[in-house]
Amino acid sequence: MELVSRLAREPWTDRPACVHPVLSAVARAAHDHSSSAGRRELLPLAPRFLDTSAPGFESAARLVSLCASTALASGELTGDERRRMVGAHRTALHLLGAEERPGGAARWWLPTVKRWRWGEPFYRTFVATEQAAEAVAITARTSDGNPDVRLRSLLKLCLATQGAVRPSPSWSASAQKSWS
């Protein structure tokens, strides 16, 4: 993220304003849980982070949903981790309109902060960033084989949800439509 801040001609920071805060949290966690070689392989992705910040629940919820579902599918989780990831995933789906009720603790805090019009900034800045970072840490820990490959793939998928990368021609036509 520091490289992205320099590319954007922003002050040196690991939280550049031009990058969506949840995407930034995913990138920092992927970087932190990668090996030295894996970190070097993340560098070419830096320009794709520019101008990915978009307001609203949708971007944050899509990123959390992707990261939480990846963590849930990646293997062994403790009971608390599974509960938090299921709650994060259900809340994200609720915010995307696919789930009737939010999951986990969001059942209580989300209606309250929405009434005060703090819902989107609170979710985007605090809740979603923590949930996504935890999901990345779980994915790194439970990855079979080399976690660098799995983390880089997750990061590329997160960039795709923000429109930062286009699907490769090898993807199916239905998958390409969903990313367009």
Residue 3 neighbours by CB under 8 Å, 6+ apart: 43, 46
Which H, E and C letters describe 90-104, residue by residue? HHHHHHCCCCCCCCC
Range of the domain at 31: 2-179
Tokens read off for 95: 């915010």
CA distances from 34 to 46, 81, 105, 123, 129 (A): 15, 20, 30, 26, 18
pLDDT (0 to 100) of residue 87? 93
Whole-prediction pTM: 0.83
CB-based burial, 39-72: b 16+ in 10 Å, e otherwise? eeebeebbebbeebbeeebebbbbbbbbbbbbbb
Question: What confidence tens digit (pLDDT) does each residue in 133-155 have?
Answer: 999 999 999 867 789 999 999 99
Residue-wise pLDDT tens digits, 32-55 = 999 999 999 999 999 999 989 888
Number of domains in the chain: 1
CB atoms within 10 A of CB 175: 12
